[in-house]
């Protein structure tokens, strides 16, 4: 009799589990927008920031939906929710986004918190900053913007670290940003003929973090990088903006293959972070969420002539952001933080008409503002 009861319980539990799985699958089919918000985002008095609706949902037609944002500061506009915080707004502000269809039926909702740091957070302190990334960093506009904002009154005395000093850098600005680079490139790339010299087109072919060891083989050597390029003193903060080149060619038709590619990319990122943390245990890492594409297909046509399309990259990028949040959230005790660089980038006015993934000056400055606002919150929290 006891055996029968146990068997019935097992059957009921199995049936319940199956029902829950089917219900979850049905909900996913009914809610394809996959509204995605970071756990937190950041602001500073006097610095405009915005949440662009197109950047938080997975759809080709964001204009077909109604977005309602609830927050005790800021205002909603046609394509975004926006605010320029004032000093009285310093603190944390819960924010909720609700997406409805054209008839007003609620489809999805998600919550985050907007953290406004004081205008003078970190004033009088020293900040050693290393900026790592791909061509978005290599364009130098957003590192310049970070430097400009950090030079405003009420900021720490800042020093940027790195070996890349393009002609476009402003005074004091330097970084490790290179076009086409991936997490794996920074982890392993080395050209035996060139070493750390630039090629004939003034491009770097070897990772600044990879050196030839006593055994004659190239290997990641963060302690040596710090000794030779940071005057022996580790950076306080390392910002990282990578992911586009790693995942751009991922499958857009096979969800499993897409997830495997993204997981492999993030595994490589973990190896780089682990090695850097071992060499610099007190360094804080600010990982930027991969930025969304130009809203225009024309930008992709101009770059890729039909080989890659805006909607394909949008699907990959949105999934990458979801997986980055799942991977890196709640790891502050390991000195790993998320920076929501994907929210505050205008997918229309922040891009030229003829480029799919590289913003114009306005877009780059919005990326710089996102990193700056996070830095200010970290400074005041620390």
**Distance between CA atoms of residues 137 and 66, nearest Å:** 34
Q: What is the mean pLDDT of residues 266-295?
A: 98
Burial of 134 (0-12, 13-18, 19+ CB in 10 A): buried
Q: Residue 207: name the closest of 179, 167, 176 by CA.
A: 176
Cα separations in angstroms, 105 against 54, 66, 131 = 19, 9, 44
Q: What is the pLDDT of residues 118-136, one digit of tens each?
A: 999 999 999 999 999 999 9
pTM: 0.91
At 214-259, the pLDDT tens digits run 999 999 999 999 999 999 999 999 999 999 999 999 999 999 999 9
Q: What digits encode the pLDDT tens for the residues 162-215?
A: 999 999 999 999 999 999 999 999 999 999 999 999 888 888 999 999 999 999
**Residue 30: predicted pLDDT:** 47
Query: What's the Rg (C-alpha) of the chain?
Result: 22
Q: What domains can you pick out in the chain, each with its CATH number? A: 41-116 (2.60.40.10), 126-381 (3.40.50.1110)
Average pLDDT, the chain: 93
Residue 74: Cβ within 10 Å count = 21
Give me the residue label for tokens 């950076």: 235
Per the model's pLDDT, the better-predicted residue between 372 and 22 turns out to be 372
Using 50, 70 and 90 to split pLDDT, how confident is the model at 28? very low
Structure letter (DSSP) for residue 164: B
Q: What angle do CA 28, 30, 35 make, to 5 degrees?
A: 65
- Rounded Cα–Cα distance for residues 178 and 75 (Å): 37
Residue 31 confidence class, pLDDT cut points 50, 70, 90: low
- Average pLDDT value for residue range 4-27: 44
Instruction: Please state the separation of Cα 10 from the chain's center in Å.
Output: 44
d(CA 217, CA 269): 22
């Amino acid at each position: 009799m006891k055996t029968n009861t146990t068997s019935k319980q097992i059957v009921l539990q199995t049936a319940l589990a199956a029902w829950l799985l089917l219900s979850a699958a049905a909900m996913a089919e009914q809610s394809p927008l996959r509204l995605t918000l970071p756990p937190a985002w950041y602001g500073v008095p006097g610095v405009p920031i915005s949440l662009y609706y197109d950047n938080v949902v997975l759809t080709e037609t964001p204009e077909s939906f109604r977005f309602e944002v609830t927050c005790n500061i800021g205002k909603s506009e046609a394509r975004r929710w926006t605010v320029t915080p004032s000093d009285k707004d310093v603190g944390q502000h819960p924010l909720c986004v609700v997406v409805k269809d054209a008839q007003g039926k609620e489809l999805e909702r998600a919550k985050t918190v907007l953290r406004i740091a004081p205008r003078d957070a970190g004033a009088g302190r020293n900040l050693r900053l290393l900026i790592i990334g791909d061509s978005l960093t290599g364009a130098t506009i957003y590192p310049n913007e970070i430097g400009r904002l950090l030079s405003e009154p009420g900021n720490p005395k800042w020093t940027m670290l790195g070996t890349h000093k393009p002609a476009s850098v402003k005074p004091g600005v330097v970084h490790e940003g290179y076009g086409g680079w991936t997490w794996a490139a920074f982890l392993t790339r080395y050209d035996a003929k060139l070493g750390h010299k630039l090629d004939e087109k003034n491009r770097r072919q070897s990772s600044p973090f990879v050196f030839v060891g006593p055994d004659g083989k190239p290997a990641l050597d963060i302690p040596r990088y710090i000794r030779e390029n940071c005057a022996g003193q580790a950076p306080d903060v390392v910002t990282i903006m990578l992911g586009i080149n790693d995942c751009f060619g991922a499958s857009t038709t096979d969800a499993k293959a897409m997830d495997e590619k993204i997981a492999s990319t993030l595994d490589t990122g973990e190896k780089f972070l682990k090695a850097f943390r071992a060499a610099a245990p007190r360094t804080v890492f600010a990982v930027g969420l991969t930025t969304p594409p130009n809203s225009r297909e024309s930008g992709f046509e101009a770059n890729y002539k039909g080989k890659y399309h805006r909607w394909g990259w949008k699907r990959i990028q949105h999934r990458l952001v979801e997986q980055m949040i799942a991977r890196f959230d709640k790891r502050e005790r390991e000195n790993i933080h998320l920076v929501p660089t994907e929210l505050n980038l205008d997918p229309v006015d922040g891009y030229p008409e003829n480029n799919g993934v590289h913003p114009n000056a306005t877009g780059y400055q919005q990326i710089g503002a996102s990193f700056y606002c996070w830095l200010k919150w970290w400074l005041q929290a620390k």
